Copies of this chain bind each other. A is one copy, B any other.
Amino acid sequence: MSKGDATRAMILDVALATASKVGLEALSIGELAKEVGLSKSGLFAHFASKEDLQIEVVRKAIARFIELVISPALKRPRGEPRVRALFENWFDWSRASELPGGCLFIAVSSELDDQPGPLRDLLLASQKDWLGVIAQAARVAVEEGHFKSNLDAEQFAWQLDAFILGYHHSARLFRSKDAQKRAQRAFESLVRASRA
Interface of A is mostly: helix
Whether the pair B174, A128 counts as a contact (CB closer than 8 A) is: yes
Nearest to A171 among chain B residues (CB) is B113
Complex CA–CA separation, A32 to B29 (angstroms): 26
With A102-B113, A110-B110 known to touch, is A169 a contact of B165 (CB < 8 Å)? yes
List which A137-196 residues lie within 8 A (CB) of chain B: 155, 158-159, 161-163, 165-166, 169-170, 172-174, 182, 185-186, 189, 193
A106 within 8 A of B: yes
Of the candidates B26, B100, B107, B174, the one whose C-beta lies within 8 Å of that of A127 is B174
Contacts of A111 in B (CB 8 A): 22-23, 26, 110-111
A73 within 8 A of B: no
Contacts of A115 in B (CB 8 A): 22
Instruction: Tell me how many residues of A have a C-beta within 8 Å of chain B.
Output: 41
With A189-B193, A193-B193 known to touch, is A114 a contact of B162 (CB < 8 Å)? no
What are 18 A-B pairs with beta-carbon distances under 8 A?
Answer: A21-B114, A23-B111, A25-B26, A100-B114, A101-B113, A102-B113, A107-B110, A107-B113, A109-B110, A110-B111, A110-B172, A113-B173, A124-B173, A128-B174, A155-B185, A162-B162, A162-B166, A193-B193
